[in-house]
Chain A
């Protein structure tokens, strides 16, 4: 395998060194003659609408030095990246979602960063641990987290709280359930306002188990999706359906209004509370806005889980057959560096993945980012978690969604559903373990 990769790299570009040959050394040793100018290609997933901040980073990098020119290309979704990498024409560096790193890394499409990290400028300890952890597959880092999205917040409609006479947001999950009951209104037996829907905006098979302190795989490679905490997280969600009625929620939900538009149900108050990400309602959650925020509740008997939540990073990686891996690494270090992290976060209102950046005065002192300040603080929480990355991650997530849906609909008990997930996916995990 190694030989073939090297051979191909040699074929595609005679001048480039095979990446396995301790590539960082080239960079570390100061060379007497200045190297030739190199152009590298960088692909990301954003469309024009969201591409501004990343384009600005690329331009800044190009200006910062005169050896490497980065050519940036947006709109390159996973299918395109896969086809191009598999088809032998990959970019030098690319941005994708964290859950691609496991399968792509194990399949041999991504260059492991282990050697680079040993000799580079990047200090892995400075990353938000939960974000960095997602880049790890079988003990090796295949990518670095560029930014991440975070769900550890409860968002609520302030007016709905006022109308119901609720003065402070729920702190425990038990309170959340009671508050949701108080915030639910019916007319002629039909729901007209609902307090909380646990699977809105989608069935979240990662968020909920994290909130209950669950996990998915143990140190011995045994899947743990059917352990107590995970099962409890589904049973908890199911309680809402038993309370409000399956069909009634389904019907009300379909007419609730489109998410992310001026008729978003949380804005109109049809939905009183929801799981919040840092990109939800950036303007409306400012101090005088209609949306309130609070830490997401924790189980009453688990105060140690306060501040927990889920992170889903965006990953920068170097394809194995990249023509200029050294230069790509150079650029990657810039992207995850302090300055770039802060600037990007300012422009795109995202959370930097670098711990020191979370306290940067450019973010903390910026009045325009007032709606982000809480999130920067919560990003430091030790109880943040994520889903373990692996080659079989997408099958695992898909199975979790399918079985959780059945449990929520009462077609199976939560325990049965999760037992089935483990039975379905354990063979894949065993196979992956036997291969590595």
Chain B
């Protein structure tokens, strides 16, 4: 009896110690959160329940903004555009980044130069690269359509036809995968060589080694890129704005480029409806947070951490 009590006390002491050590390690972030983030987050939640034009004092309206949202056709349209870019962009871009990282991880001469080249497009400022894309995707004399025409495929009017503006952005997105590639590369460098050596001795083929060693070993990175990619896709903003500018209107042709974050920004800073924009932000937050939780829950089945007991 006393023994169990002592053991429980010991356990509790150890658990308390872990709590304090853990909190100590995360305390810088915690302090930053309390200092810089908590107040703005709480304020934005308060705004979402108010009518607030950025200048006068917010007026409490309860759930009115949220109710209005559900009757707003542009809310659904912008959500649709955003989901579209997430569904068709995120996974292909990740798969592509992984493929590139595998190529760049091979021991080939001149790899340093290749690695730099693949990262280059991410470094070119958006104002400059968008100009290139407007030119590449031009319906009349653009290179992409010349290639498509040469192999007898449809030649879409990328920047003008509302059915093709988002695919154009997805296509362009492949050039922006440099960051993901670098991260996969760093993860690949971390896979212990002995695993491969052991597998080779067992006679495992290339595919089998990739499937059973590489993929599981980099699965923590895949989880990261998936979650961050999801978050970023739902906040898709700059490129959509630049593309829409080509058609001289926010939202682009038939609002096909009116992404959620763009509509939110317009609502807040052009329509001065910060209350409504904040309620949009919180709806987004709930959706993405839910999806993030789902991914984390499922990750027990497909993410393998070397550090697990």
Contact = CB atoms under 8 A, between A and B. Distances in A.
Interface string B27-59: 000000000000000000000000001111100
B269 A1 contact: no
Interface stretch (A40-48, A64-72, A103-111): A103-111
Contacts of B140: 251-252, 254-255
Interface stretch (A299-307, A377-385, A393-401): A393-401
Nearest to A87: B54
A6 interface: no
A266 to B, nearest CB: 16
Interface in A173-228: 201-203
**Among B138, B247, B255, B270, residue most surrounded by chain A Cβ atoms (within 10 Å):** B270
B191 interface: no
B230 interface: no
Given A103-B272, A405-B254, A254 B249 contact: no
B159 A107 contact: no
Interface string B55-77: 11100000000000000000000
Given A253-B160, A255-B141, A1 B56 contact: yes
B139 interface: yes
Tell me what chain B mostly uses at the interface: helix, strand, loop, or mixed: loop
Interface residues of B, number: 26
Contacts of A402: 251, 255
Interface string A403-418: 0011001000000000
A113 interface: no
Contacts of B56: 1, 107-108
A86 B254 CA distance: 32
A385 B270 CA distance: 23
Contacts of A247: 157
A255 B135 CA distance: 9
Nearest to B74: A402
Nearest to A258: B134
B250 interface: yes
B248 interface: yes
A401 to B, nearest CB: 5
A255 B269 contact: no
Contacts of B302: none
B159 A86 contact: no
Nearest to B267: A395
A320 B55 CA distance: 10
A391 B272 CA distance: 9
A395 B139 contact: no
Contact of B55 (A108, A202, A250, A398): A108
A78 interface: yes
Contact of A78 (B139, B255, B269, B271): B269
A250 B160 contact: yes
A254 B139 contact: yes
B249 A203 contact: yes
B161 interface: yes
Contacts of B251: 402
A97 to B, nearest CB: 11
Interface in A74-93: 78-79, 82, 85-86
A82 B269 contact: yes
Contacts of B53: 103, 106-108
Nearest to A406: B254
B255 A107 contact: no
Task: Choose among B157, B159, B253 the residue with the greatest number of A CB atoms under 10 Å from its CB.
Answer: B157
B249 A85 contact: no
A426 to B, nearest CB: 16
B248 A202 contact: yes
Contact of B57 (A4, A103, A395): A4
A85 B139 contact: no
Contacts of B57: 1, 4
A250 B249 contact: no
Nearest to A190: B140
Contacts of B55: 85-86, 104, 107-109, 320
A405 B157 CA distance: 17
Contacts of A109: 54-55
Instruction: Please indicate which of the listed interface residues A85, A391, A394, A409 has the most CB atoms of chain B within 10 Å of its own CB.
Output: A394
Nearest to B140: A255
Given A1-B56, A107-B55, A401-B249, A251 B271 contact: no
B254 A255 contact: no
Contacts of B269: 78-79, 82
Given A82-B269, A107-B272, A394-B270, A251 B54 contact: no
A398 B159 contact: no
A236 B265 CA distance: 34
Contacts of B270: 78, 103, 394, 398
B54 A254 contact: no
A100 to B, nearest CB: 9
Contacts of A255: 138-141
A86 B269 CA distance: 11
B54 A107 contact: yes
Interface in A235-271: 247, 250-255
Contact of A254 (B159, B254, B266, B272): B159
A79 B54 CA distance: 12
Given A107-B54, A107-B272, A254-B157, 12 more contacts: A1-B57, A78-B270, A82-B269, A106-B53, A201-B248, A202-B247, A202-B249, A250-B160, A253-B160, A254-B159, A255-B138, A398-B266
Top 4 closest pairs, chain A to chain B, by CB: A255-B140, A202-B248, A107-B53, A254-B139
Interface of A: 1, 4, 78-79, 82, 85-86, 103-104, 106-109, 201-203, 247, 250-255, 320, 391-392, 394-395, 398, 401-402, 405-406, 409
13 contacts: A1-B56, A86-B55, A103-B271, A107-B272, A108-B55, A203-B249, A250-B161, A254-B157, A254-B160, A255-B139, A394-B271, A402-B255, A406-B254
